[in-house]
Amino acid sequence: MRRRSSLKMPLRGKAMNNLLSTSYKTDEQLDSMLCEVSNWAVNGRAGKVLCHAPSLRQAIERATEYAASGAVVIALCRLPSDNIVIFADQTKRLRKIIAGRETPPLKHTANLQDLDGRPSSAPPV
């Protein structure tokens, strides 16, 4: 008797719901994971791994660099296969969260004063 492979059968019902519920994380959940040390793969077309990163934040940065160079980034996947997959739309939202936390560089102007009361353009004593 020939056995049917479960890999060839499409997922239906409860099995499909389990797959979706384990792989989807909210932006808030992923926000709390940005700096956690874990292995992430940046995946391109046909499941090709473009690179690995030691944190979600670095994976997002590398995915952005690949996309800027013309490569197609499909998803970010946490390894070893714990079913966290982040697609392009959510990656863009996470980039906005990261950008909102970064502070712009300070500009030196004559109107600003240091803590000791001297103008910022004055040479140190």
Residue 34 lies in a domain: yes
Q: What is the mean pLDDT of residues 48-70?
A: 95
Residue 123 lies in a domain: no
44 lies in which domain range? 25-100
Residue 60 lies in a domain: yes
Give 75-100 pLDDT, tens digit per residue.
999 988 678 999 999 999 999 998 88
Residue 16 lies in a domain: no
Residue 5 lies in a domain: no
Residue 61 lies in a domain: yes
Residue 4 lies in a domain: no
What is the predicted pLDDT for the residue at 6?
A: 42
Does 3 have pLDDT greater than 60?
Answer: no
Residue 107 lies in a domain: no
Other C-beta atoms closer than 10 Å to the C-beta of 42 total 27
Domain count across the chain: 1
Give 13-24 pLDDT, tens digit per residue.
444 444 444 578
Helix (H, G, I), strand (E, B) or coil at 93: helix
Q: What is the pTM of this model?
A: 0.64
**Exposed e or buried b per residue across 69-87, where buried means at least 16 C-beta atoms within 10 angstroms of its C-beta:** eeeebbbbbbeeeeebbbe
